[in-house]
Amino acid sequence: MSPEVVATLQFLKQYPTCHPEAPLFKDCGATICFIKMVAQWYAVHDIGVVKPQGQQEGPFYSTDDERLLWLEVDFVGYLEDLQMNGGKSTQKITKDTYAATLLTTRTTVALTEYLLDHINFRYVLTRRLNSDPVESLFSSLRQFNGGNDRVDARAAVFTAAESSNAPTSSEMKTGLKLAIENDETAPITDAIKFATTELASELSFVKFCTEGEADLEMAPLFYLAGHLARVCEEKFRGKSARKRKKQLSALFCARLSTCFVFRRRKMERQRKIAALKLLIILKRRQAFLRKYWVRPTWTQRADESEFFTAMKHMKNGDESLFYMYYRMSPDTFDMLHGLVREELTKDKCPSREPISSGERLALTLRFLSSGMLVRDAAMAFRVGIETARNVIIETCTVLWEVLSPGYMKTPTEQDWREIADGFCSRWQFPNCLGAVDGKHIQIKCPRNAGSMYFNYKGTHSIVLMAVADSQYLFRLVNVGAPGRFSDGGILQDSPIGERLHEGELSLPRAATLPRSGRVCPHVFVGDEAFQLRPDFMRPLPGSRTAPEEVIYNYRLKQLRRCVENAFGILVSRWRIYERRINMEPKNVETIVKATCVLHNFLSSNAASTYCPPGYADFQDTFGTVSGGAWRQGPESTTVFGLEKPKARNCAKVANAVRQELIRYFSDEGQVPWQWKLPGVAPHQASSG
């Protein structure tokens, strides 16, 4: 089951000439798929640490965890398909293995969801969640049957009932013996009879799992029945013996180590959790009994999907409509597809054709560019809703991993110098490394999050913090800070702020300002939400009347337009930001990072269509700024700026750097149009 085995099989399949016996492995695709599925199943059921360590996965924090969805949909579907369409008998899994794996998978999902949703656990670990009771049960059955691993369920129960260690209630022994002797062929669940409909219905799911399979009357049923009987006994505790006898016609009972009915001592915590799991299994899972692997409506995907119909026609004759749908030209789409094709291509499984890499990319771009709901995107591309959601998240992850090294890498010292040169030549602001700002991205309130994501506008959000250059490209981004952190403290606590504080961003050293002998450090600029630092400039607070201070504030405002335009273009092009994103924070973070790197990719490779002249703000030679076309749309209510805090104290050295820039912009660094700004008196302008 190791990754090395999978890698070896894949290599032999891909290169059949590398070894004389390599051709024998040309048809091992199903084996590779099986090993991967089982290995992932074991990984999900072996979570025993709170923090991920190496290949050890972290715990379940939410019922929206993709691993739960994978268990109850992908893995169960694969298991059922393998059992039904396994071909030769040697290629099938045994009935016992199928039953145990199916029941274990479904109960693990049910218990995890119950503990998170109803018991309000902060997280759930799955290691030994099923193994403890199952091991205890099997050890008892082996003991009753003389150590034979392949136990006979009826013989084990009968032996337990007759043993001297069995419960002393003769009524329960008799009821059990009669239930077994009267009908040798009936499922063991027929021996468990409850008067109340509610408790009796809990077994219907197990009957569904075991119907027609005599060999499935194994350990899981014993354990289930024992705990149901325990709950039934507790439910009627305190009532008269006669009434209890009437309501409980025959309790399933066998001495199975510590798992037994009518134990008067308190069950261990693991046993309590197992009992919860078995009691909620029907209500949580009966609503989702998989009827088919692929919904019949989606079987005609090759004929009805938008990818094979509308997109094909637009690609061949209507490029403007294609751009409206996918925010790029057909050539750019093909270029992007070529970069991510390998990572998006899935291995083929028996009897099913996976969704192609092109479909995955098109569905994701359509979802991001239109802002449509996941279910609408799923309908357009003729796939299931959960499948569409998984495709979107997986594709966004691949887009970030593939594109970020080339289009959003951490700048080197030389890159920072080029960025500073861009600000100096375009905006006449030397030694500037980037404009910084943050935006709240509105999301659905996560489960059990309390006020963690509650922002100052009364909604729930995460924060996107970004550094933009003079060309409106994102140079650094940080996504995911909870919305309650609504001021510039986000920068200080973010990876960007930490690396800036520790000096790990490879920033260039202080340099002489053009046409002067003043030495000034390289700085970032932001608005009033951020703290003044020697390497971070913000405007002077309040209303200013001194001309040099008015000029300084305006020159900073020019640079802040860079990051403002970057956000504006991002939001206007990717309509996903026009509504609340109804996903978990980690998935929203993945989507936001993907749109940011797509913004850089398209600005670099398709600027003529993605950000044509006039789409962003522009300034003429007289200093007059005209708003870009992106401002013509309605103002977004789901993407908004950080809260402006009260004035803060700052270090003397930071204030000294700001005063040096104030004097520079009114002397050597002045531009002609700045003396015509509002607030600069005519006599002061002429003297300047």
User: How many Å apart are CA 85 and CA 505, to the nearest integer?
Assistant: 56
Nearest partner of 473 among 342, 611, 366, 579, judged by Cα: 611
Contacts with 484 (C-beta within 8 Å, 6 or more apart), sequence order:
451, 452, 453, 454, 455
User: How many Å apart are CA 491 and CA 476, to the nearest integer?
Assistant: 12
Q: Phi/psi at 443 (nearest 5 deg)?
A: -135, 170
Task: Look up residue 21 and give its amino acid.
Answer: E
Beta bridge partners of 618: 626
Report the interhelical angle of 413-427 vs 547-573 (nearest 10°). Answer: 110
Contact 639, 441 (CB under 8 A): yes
Contacts with 505 (C-beta within 8 Å, 6 or more apart), sequence order:
410, 411, 416, 499
Contact 371, 571 (CB under 8 A): no
User: How many Å apart are CA 109 and CA 554, to the nearest integer?
Assistant: 58
Q: Is 614 left (phi over 0), alpha (psi -120 to 50) or beta?
A: left
Tokens linked to 483 = 């919305």
Contact 218, 96 (CB under 8 A): yes
Which parts of the chain have pLDDT scores under 50?
A: 1, 87-90, 131-233, 235-237, 239, 241-267, 682-688
348-382 CB burial, b ≥16 within 10 A, e <16: ebeeeeebebbbbbbbbbbbbbbebebeebbbbbb
User: How many Å apart are CA 13 and CA 333, to the nearest integer?
Assistant: 31
* pLDDT for the residue 625: 76
Distances (CA, A) of 670 to 180, 400, 562, 663, 685: 99, 41, 20, 10, 11
User: How many Å apart are CA 672 and CA 683, to the nearest integer?
Assistant: 15
- Could you report the per-residue pLDDT of 337-376, keeping only the tens digit for each? 999 999 999 887 766 788 999 999 999 999 999 989 999 9
Per DSSP, the residues of 275-288 read HHHHHHHHHHHTT-
Contact 391, 410 (CB under 8 A): no
Nearest partner of 262 among 132, 130, 169, judged by Cα: 169
* pLDDT for the residue 260: 36
Tokens 């006994």 sit on residue: 233
Q: What is the pTM of this model?
A: 0.60
User: How many Å apart are CA 527 and CA 436, to the nearest integer?
Assistant: 8
Contacts with 562 (C-beta within 8 Å, 6 or more apart), sequence order:
423, 427, 435, 468, 469, 470, 472
For the chain, what percentages of helix, strand and coil (3-state, to nearest 5) are there? 55, 10, 35
User: How many Å apart are CA 657 and CA 653, to the nearest integer?
Assistant: 6
- Of all helices (H) and strands (E), which one includes residue 618? strand 618-619
Q: How far is CA 112 from the centre of its chain?
A: 17
- Could you report the per-residue pLDDT of 311-334, keeping only the tens digit for each? 988 988 888 899 999 999 999 999
Nearest partner of 576 among 593, 561, 551, judged by Cα: 593
E-state strands within 444-567: 461-468, 474-482, 511-512, 519-520, 523-525, 536-537
Contact 523, 679 (CB under 8 A): no
User: How many Å apart are CA 309 and CA 297, to the nearest integer?
Assistant: 16
Contact 484, 453 (CB under 8 A): yes
User: How many Å apart are CA 103 and CA 642, to the nearest integer?
Assistant: 49
* pLDDT for the residue 111: 75
* pLDDT for the residue 138: 44
Q: Phi/psi at 478 (nearest 5 deg)?
A: -140, 125
- Cα dihedral value 363, 366, 369, 375, nearest 10: -80
CB atoms closer than 10 angstroms to residue 67:
18
Q: Phi/psi at 554 (nearest 5 deg)?
A: -70, -40
Contact 668, 516 (CB under 8 A): yes
Tokens 């009992």 sit on residue: 275
User: How many Å apart are CA 34 and CA 382, to the nearest integer?
Assistant: 26
Contact 100, 45 (CB under 8 A): no
Tokens 């001592």 sit on residue: 265
Contact 557, 429 (CB under 8 A): no
- Checking DSSP bridges between strand 461-468 and strand 432-442, what pairing results, if any? antiparallel
